[in-house]
Amino acid sequence: MRLIEQSVILENCDQPDHILTLLERAGKTCYRSQPSPTKEGRIVFIQKLIKSGHESVLEHVSLSVRIVTSRSVTHELVRHRLASYSQQSQRYVTYNDFNGVTFIKPVWYDKQDAASKFIFNTACQNSEAVYKNLIEDCNWLPQQAREILPNCTATELVMTANLREWRHIFKMRTTNKAHPQIKELMQDTLALFYDILPSLFKDIYSEYN
């Protein structure tokens, strides 16, 4: 058994300046106006689009991330149907390496007392033991044995969405109303995007920083 932190990394990104140029050119097509000669001019124009609610222009650019998180979090993520997903299969992947089953550590785990941590760890270890027993001793297939695994079982997926959809996801999943596990994951994702395209995500990023 392994207990790990969830994580997110940027899987793809064109040059940020190229992204800004494409978005500006697309947006100015609507108004038959000329592109700005400077990066600052492009940023001002794109921010005006966002402020005015003309975010359809942002759909011309997509970004992908590779996420390692719990199955419970991915059940929430895949509800965003304008995104695309490629997720590790539990039907065809068997947790039979030396590490056994990997579980995601809840974001509130470190603040718990020793007794609650012991109960949580024991539950994970028991589910792992039963899973292995069903496969090795009962000849169950992975797609059958997986029924015993808990929501905190780790999974990996690549997620792609256009910039408008990412903004929508962040507005929903980084607030205090979001589940703590997905909130932390999406805040980390938002921070990645803010680092490369601050002009597109500053308004949302500033909400929790």
Q: Catalytic one among 71, 146, 164, 173?
A: 173
CA 129 to chain centre: 29
Whether 173 is catalytic is yes
d(CA 61, CA 123): 43
Q: Considering only CA atoms, give the Rg of the chain.
A: 21
d(CA 17, CA 77): 29
SS3 of residue 84 by DSSP? strand
SS3 of residue 44 by DSSP? helix
CA distances from 100 to 10, 41, 158, 178, 193 (A): 27, 53, 23, 31, 33
Active site residues: 173
